[in-house]
Structure 1
Amino acid sequence: MKDFPAIPATNISDSIVDSESTEHMICSLVTRKAASCLKSGHPMSPLDIAMMTLNLQKVMAGEPALQPAQDEVLEKTWKGERAPGDPFCAPEDSVHPDYIICLENGRQLSMLKRHLKETHGMTPDEYRAKWNLPSDYPMTAPNYTASKAKAARARGLGRHKRPEPVASLVGA
């Protein structure tokens, strides 16, 4: 439990520890851990909080901590609820006018490409292949694309200027 501040070392068998102070300390440690996980964007599930509380009570009583079942460890994802192969939402529901929902973790983004590379280490093609998406599945929100295209047209991008005929330059 590296996230917790150091607990002063005391010999529990030599001293009488009242249960209220122990319960208060356990509650404080669990609350700090849950708050730090929530702040980092990876909230603990209620089951994780309960297991942590039980483990701390056992450790304080001098008993070995509970170990989660191997199947439970393998199936957990960072959200704690969803199986690894399931998308966060249905692919057909992931494209909205102002944002696109990442099927990996459910974040709402206007541009998906950079998020995929930095957070999940995937290219857009790998992402489309993993979730069986069509090759024309957008990587940017439709309204974002439209506003960028409008701004580019206003600056004159996309128009080819015709070169002036050479004869008019020579005759001058």
Structure 2
Amino acid sequence: MTSNTDQPNTTELAAEIVAAFVSRNSLPVSELPALILSVDATLRRLATGAPATVASPAEQPTPAVSIRKSVTADHLICLDDGKRFKSLKRHLATLGMTPEEYRAKWGLPADYPMVAANYAARRSDLAKSMGLGQSRDKAAPPAKRGRKPKASA
């Protein structure tokens, strides 16, 4: 650590952050050094107050599958890693993204689905069969009484 106790060692902090990340996420060993360097550079930039670098449009990421093939009736395919899901929202949370950030990253329209069509239809049918979504104009059926009251002696 440096002699100045107010400023922590960014390399040690980067190692701790990466260790915490790797404990919860799978990552190839070959990518660890690049991740540590990236986190360290970000911490150094934050410590000096330098502005964040903006990725140029030429550095657009390449999707794992084509956008057209990523949407099917039974599942959605994540453009980041190519995995199949019925619902992308929870997977995106594990990647640290919101659906809006995901759509912006890949240039997707606002109506790009986050849930597979067949899955949404099944959930909708289930909710309707339970009586959810019906108006409350109808009076509720009268409640059944419990057991008969005891006769007083």
- The TM-score with structure 2 as length reference comes to 0.52
Cα RMSD over matched residues?
2.6
Distance 1:84 1:134 in 2: 16
Distance 1:140 1:163 in 2: 32
Aligned twin of 1:128: 103
Q: Structure 1 runs of 4+ off > 4 angstroms? A: 40-44
Aligned twin of 2:83: 107
- The percent of aligned pairs where both chains have the same amino acid is 43
Distance 1:105 1:84 in 2: 15
1:3-152 map, 5 Å: 85-118=61-94, 120-152=95-127
Letter in 2 for 1:88: A
Gaps in structure 1 of 5+ consecutive residues: 1-39, 49-69, 75-82, 165-172
The structural deviation recorded for 1:163 is 5.9
Distance 2:83 2:93 in 1: 14
User: What secondary structure is seen at the aligned counterpart in 1 of 2:123?
Assistant: helix
The structural deviation recorded for 1:97 is 1.1
Gaps in structure 2 of 5+ consecutive residues: 1-24, 39-58, 140-153
- The TM-score with structure 1 as length reference comes to 0.46
